[in-house]
Amino acid sequence: MSLNHSPVACWSSQVQLSLPSGVPEQIELAAAAFVQQWGLFDQNTRDAKPRSDCYQLTYAMDAWQLFPPAQSDGLGKHPLWVDFVDNPRFAQTLLLREPLAKAAGLRANQRPLVVDLTAGLGRDTWALASTGCHVLAFERHPLVHFLLNDGLARARAHPKTCAIAARITLHRGDARQYEGAFIDENNAVAWPIWLVDPMFPERSKSALVKKDMRIFHHLVGEDLDASALFNWARAKPGSRWIVKRPPQAPTLDAEPPALVITSGRVRFDCYLPIAASARK
């Protein structure tokens, strides 16, 4: 199967909807709208047979799940889906001493707005919202957005997770469409934290990359325009900019970060405010 590394384009020709019978009507309607909007193959109508070269998007255990193509090498058989309610990795609140909280500069009693420009599967968004921050999250890949939106809807409906989910607003589309009209240039106390975590080329054949993340990488490809995204955000009012990178990766911009926090397989490059007159 050939990989497509340009953002968003062409993914839909690699996905087939496979909806089991008896799903609730609102799920059928959501599926029909999604198929129509993006032109997916649909096993339930015109393409009656399962396509072994396609991802299978299905609804099981009250959640949307994406199974890897039967024909693919190395993507395994497990589905990609978003589960904030029962996945133990989301059970703990992010502590202020943890690298992401430190990178964001979070302190007790201070919970700034976070703008997550690269929401992906929502892990960082969720971690930051668990501390009490409100998070405005953007995801441009329609299928990734679809899965994350589904995970958030279930989290909003569950008593255990509804308070955190209520602090997250998710938008679909390129984050640069967002003008940030609500940011008051003159009120520095309310300036947001900007988070950029672009897709980086997958470490080849690494057993360390979990199967669901391999599917994710395979589907989304590399974010080749990440520097442009960072520079766009850097020109906005903000209290901090965080760029998440693999430890050995070059910085996204020639500007050296004010602070670097490395932890395991992740590096956070942190940038502090620049004078308004110096913004690019």
Q: Which is nearer to ligand SAM, 111 or 123 (CB)?
A: 123
Q: What is the C-alpha separation between 190 and 60, in angstroms, rounded?
A: 41
Q: Which is nearer to ligand SAM, 28 or 98 (CB)?
A: 98
Three-state DSSP state, 256: coil
- What does the alpha-carbon distance between residue 199 and residue 103 come to, in Å, rounded to a whole number? 19
DSSP for 142-161, written as a single string: HHHHHHHHHHHHHHHHSTTT
Q: Which residue is nearest to ligand SAM (CB)?
A: 120
Instruction: Tokens for 115, please give them.
Output: 């703008």
Q: Identify the H or E element spanning 14.
A: none
Question: What is the smallest separation between the CB atom of 278 and ligand SAM, expressed in angstroms?
Answer: 24
Q: How far is the CB of 18 from ligand SAM (least distance, A)?
A: 23
Q: How far is the CB of 215 from ligand SAM (least distance, A)?
A: 12
Nearer to ligand SAM, 59 or 126 (CB): 126
Taking residue 13's Cβ as centre, other Cβ atoms within 10 Å add up to 14
Cβ of residue 226: shortest distance to ligand SAM, in angstroms?
7
Site residues for ligand SAM per CB under 6 A: 117-118, 120-124, 138-141, 144, 174-176, 197-199, 220, 223, 229
List, in sequence order, every beta strand (DSSP E) within 13-88.
15-17, 41-42, 55-60, 63-67
Nearer to ligand SAM, 118 or 130 (CB): 118
Question: In the complex, what is the shortest distance from the CB of residue 100 to ligand SAM, in angstroms, rounded to a whole number?
Answer: 9
Q: Which is nearer to ligand SAM, 52 or 263 (CB)?
A: 263
Residue 90 or residue 191: which is nearer to ligand SAM going by CB?
A: 90
Which structure tokens are listed for 228? Answer: 């442009």
Smallest distance from ligand SAM to CB 83, Å: 13
Residue 259 phi/psi, 5-degree rounding, is -150, 140
193, 105 Cβ separation under 8 angstroms: yes
CA distance 79 to 65: 6
Write the DSSP symbol of residue 255. Answer: S
Strand (E) or helix (H) holding 202: none
Residue 96 CB, nearest approach to ligand SAM (Å)? 19
- Give the burial class of 132: count Cβ atoms within 10 A of its Cβ; 0-12 exposed, 13-18 middle, 19 or more buried: middle
- Which lies closer to ligand SAM via its Cβ, residue 175 or residue 215? 175
Smallest gap from Cβ 259 to ligand SAM, in A, equals 19
Q: Which is nearer to ligand SAM, 47 or 202 (CB)?
A: 202
Q: Please give the DSSP secondary-structure letter assigned to residue 42.
A: E
